Amino acid sequence: MPGHHVQVDVKFLNFDTEKGVVRRFQYTAIDDATRIRALKIYNRHLQKNAIDFINYVVEKFPFRINTIRTDRGHEFQAKFHWHVEDLGMRHQYIKARTPQLNGKVERSHLTDKREFYQLISYKDDVDLEAKLWHWENFYNFDRPHMAFQGKTPYEALKECMK
């Protein structure tokens, strides 16, 4: 059922530039049932950004979210937890040192690495955010998924809603 469980995690990014390494953080949410994703880049790895990201996810996903599942990272602690609960969702931590319990978001990060980050170069944050927006839309609306016999996440959502 769409929105029943949404996995959330952070991908650490390092870009080599002429001025040195630039570190950014990709916050990712993926719906268990449909694989619909929301992605956003931040320049800091903070609870404040995790809260902002969840607000973005709630706005972006075309269905109500029941449960947010995260690891026990510092960005997902008390303020984040209570914010999620205040929004009417449950926040569930996975067992420590078991990233496989959030396997869909972890696997989607590998897809990001292979199909997106290896193909782009970092110019600046505005350029990266624009490219990530296009990648998110391609992933959700155009990229076929083997889990759905070649259907896209939004096609899978339509199937779930029948």
Q: What does the pLDDT read at residue 42?
A: 98
| DSSP string for 3-51 | TSEEEEEEEEEEEEETTEEEEEEEEEEEETTT--EEEEEESS--HHHHH
Which of 46, 31, 21, 34 shows the shortest CA–CA distance to 122? 21
How many percent of the chain have pLDDT more than 70?
100
Strand 90-93 and strand 67-70: the pairing is: parallel
Q: What does the pLDDT read at residue 161?
A: 79
Express each pLDDT in 76-128 by its tens digit.
Answer: 999 999 999 999 999 999 988 777 778 999 999 999 999 999 999 999 999 99
Residue 17 vs residues 20, 22, 24, 117, 121: alpha-carbon distances, Å: 5, 7, 13, 14, 9
* Run of H or E residues at 91: strand 90-93
Q: What is the mean pLDDT of residues 129-142?
A: 97
Sorting pLDDT into bands at 50, 70 and 90, what band is 147?
A: confident
Measured distance CA(111)–CA(106) in Å, rounded: 9
**Do 5 and 66 contact (CB within 8 A), yes or no?**
yes
Express each pLDDT in 2-32 by its tens digit.
Answer: 999 999 999 999 999 998 999 999 999 999 9
How many percent of the chain have pLDDT more than 90?
87
Burial of 66 (0-12, 13-18, 19+ CB in 10 A): middle
